Chain A
Amino acid sequence: MKKIIALLLCVMMLGVSAAVAETVGICQLVQHPALDLATQGFRDALSAKIPDIQFDEQNASGDSATCATIINGFVSADVALIMANATPALQAAVAATADIPILATSITDYATALEMDAATFTGVTGINVSGTTDLAPLDGQADMIAELFPEAKTVGLLYCSAEPNSLYQVNTIRGFLEAKGLTCKDFAFADSNDVASVTQSAVGDVDVLYIPTDNTAASVTETIAGVVIPGGLPVIAGEEGIAKGCGVATLTISYYDIGFATGEMAAEILLNGADVSAMPIQAAPQFTKKYNAENALALGVTVPADYEAIE
């Protein structure tokens, strides 16, 4: 035991450094292609503006409770700014500090995440939080479903019940779809193990399947593809990764872009002393219509000329 303590002390000594450059703490919820891109965009944007900025990047590896541990480390180290990537990371940061500026990204709905009244939420939090939203243009996606599948009567909504963002999107797009006279049906799965059977139950039951920007779905697109492509069920996805894996088309945002925008907001705060509580939440700078050529061909879907093929 004494040896272990001695060893720990040695390691601590080694850790002592004289660097005084400002540090930004990055807390990401889980290893995930979209979140990784957002973090990368954030780092690129901020390092371009402040070359000697230091990053302390941590990942909770999917355990939402670990976010509190990571954020505790940041607050103790008195970082200049916290970047919270995904909802539990943001909530842990808000619980930990009312002073250090917090910028979040990959959050779909700030009002829900921060428990603010959605009806009166203006896009400015009034507390030490701002950031970017990954909210896809849901009305545009509903239009896309109507545009590509004029014959469709029923739309299935496939999502993971553990993801608050997905539920929010599903509920929102349901409104848009029903306004177009379409019938919606929910297909919720609990985790990656029951994706195949839940997806299977949608085949033959609905004409089109919609998948929001759901992190769990994004990691099991191959499983979904294995069911929907042979079953002849076209998928419209909330983001490019899902469309690439199992979808026909998407109206998408780039997570790198929103991460980059968050990085620029961070530079505003650190360089120009901008007040985080007055900075409006930013949306993605642009949306792109994209399609999956292979799946469109396999399912016999004709795609208009203004769609870009996913590489």
Chain B
Amino acid sequence: MELIKLLNSLPGAVAQGLIWGLMAIGVYITFRILDMADLTVDGSIATGGAVAAMLITSGVNPWLALVISFFVGMLAGFVTGVFHSFMGIPAILAGILTQLGLYSVNLRIMAGKANVAVNANKYYLLVSLRNVRELSLQNPILVLTLITAVVILTLYWFFGTELGSSLRATGANAQMARAQGINTDTKKLLGLMLSNGLVSFSGALLTQYQGFSDVNMGRGAIVIGLAAVIIGEVFFGKVFRNFGLKLLAVSLGAIVYYLVIQVVLWLGLNANDLKLLTALVVGIFLAVPYWRSHFLSRKKTDKEAGSHA
């Protein structure tokens, strides 16, 4: 009985994980490729949600709403990029500043309201929590898998172009990149725009999925994004060497994150402990790479020592 309940809840966790996976891919671009921690995302995911909610409730096609959310999110990234590259503010602070400002911007977008409902009964939505256990073309998992595949393929192509490669070079070794004649400031700006565009895009999907946009919906998003990136690396880092597969690992990492949350909820522990348990689980995942390297490297040295003896 109990186990069936859990199994039943897994499709929902997968769908939510796929949505946050797109967001986490955005985080991956700044955190792993550009090697900077961008905290704009807590604001830009809500921006995407706000834009989508306002557009969809005024009758705009949800696909178009997604595209517009992407571009509005890019604007948020642009602001952080300007703060960082052209005003000399450290990346982490630049992101926090934008995130702070976005709170007011998001309220403006939602016409001064903190919460806008997007009722699944009234609008055509691309993804909805309601259809997650249905075997139909309306199932959000199908739609989200397709969207994720398109996003990963596009990014795979983009990071293979000259422009994309110079972006990677900027993150890998900024000094060397500059020596090659790459303008690292504009590349960071571009990376931030791309990242926040994706984050905002996933916010637009999340709004449709959960049926509302809320000015607080991005609270702690960066934690989920980073957790997804690391969990993806812990589970699939060994196998997935190819860049496209690494992006896929991030998406899978987000799914694992939501599966874990769903299991924690299913365990039916004290409702107030959810955050502590989440922190513990994510903490363990974060520790795994360290433990593994520690443990494996010692074993290796033991073996080497043995062969010399």
Residue of A11, A59, A88 near B267 (CB, 8 A) is A11
Residue of B16, B130, B209, B217 near A98 (CB, 8 A) is B130
Nearest chain A CB to B42's CB is how many angstroms away? 11
Interface-located stretch among A160-168, A230-238, A268-276: A160-168
B241 in the interface (beta carbon within 8 A)? no
Q: Are B219 and A94 in contact (CB under 8 A)?
A: no
Interface-located stretch among B70-78, B120-128, B169-177: B120-128
Interface-located stretch among A12-20, A130-138, A285-293: A12-20
B201 in the interface (beta carbon within 8 A)? no
Nearest chain B CB to A54's CB is how many angstroms away? 10
B32 in the interface (beta carbon within 8 A)? no
Q: Are A115 and B118 in contact (CB under 8 A)?
A: yes
| Contacting residues, chain B, for A72 (C-beta < 8 A) | 9, 12-13, 16, 129, 132, 262
* A31–B215 alpha-carbon span in the complex (Å): 18
Residue of B6, B8, B16 near A68 (CB, 8 A) is B16
Which residue on A lies nearest to B123, using beta carbons? A115
A48 in the interface (beta carbon within 8 A)? no
| Contacting residues, chain B, for A65 (C-beta < 8 A) | 206, 210, 217
Q: Are B216 and A62 in contact (CB under 8 A)?
A: yes
Q: Are B262 and A69 in contact (CB under 8 A)?
A: yes
B179 in the interface (beta carbon within 8 A)? no
| Contacting residues, chain B, for A59 (C-beta < 8 A) | 271-272, 274
Nearest chain B CB to A108's CB is how many angstroms away? 11
Q: Are B275 and A98 in contact (CB under 8 A)?
A: no
Q: Are B3 and A31 in contact (CB under 8 A)?
A: no
Q: Are A76 and B12 in contact (CB under 8 A)?
A: yes
Known: A18-B1, A115-B122, A190-B103. A69 touches B261 (CB 8 A): yes
**Could you list some 30 contacts between A and B, CB below 8 A?**
A12-B2, A15-B3, A16-B3, A61-B272, A61-B274, A65-B206, A65-B217, A69-B12, A69-B262, A72-B13, A75-B12, A75-B129, A76-B7, A78-B5, A87-B115, A91-B210, A94-B211, A95-B128, A95-B130, A96-B12, A98-B121, A113-B117, A114-B119, A115-B119, A127-B121, A163-B114, A164-B115, A167-B112, A167-B114, A190-B104
A sample of 19 more A-B contacts (CB under 8 A), given A59-B274, A115-B117, A115-B119, is A12-B2, A15-B2, A64-B216, A65-B210, A68-B209, A72-B16, A72-B129, A73-B9, A73-B12, A76-B6, A76-B8, A91-B117, A92-B210, A92-B212, A94-B121, A95-B211, A114-B117, A163-B114, A190-B103
Binding site for B on A (CB under 8 A): 8, 11-12, 15-20, 28, 31, 56-73, 75-78, 87-88, 91-92, 94-98, 112-115, 127, 161-164, 167, 190
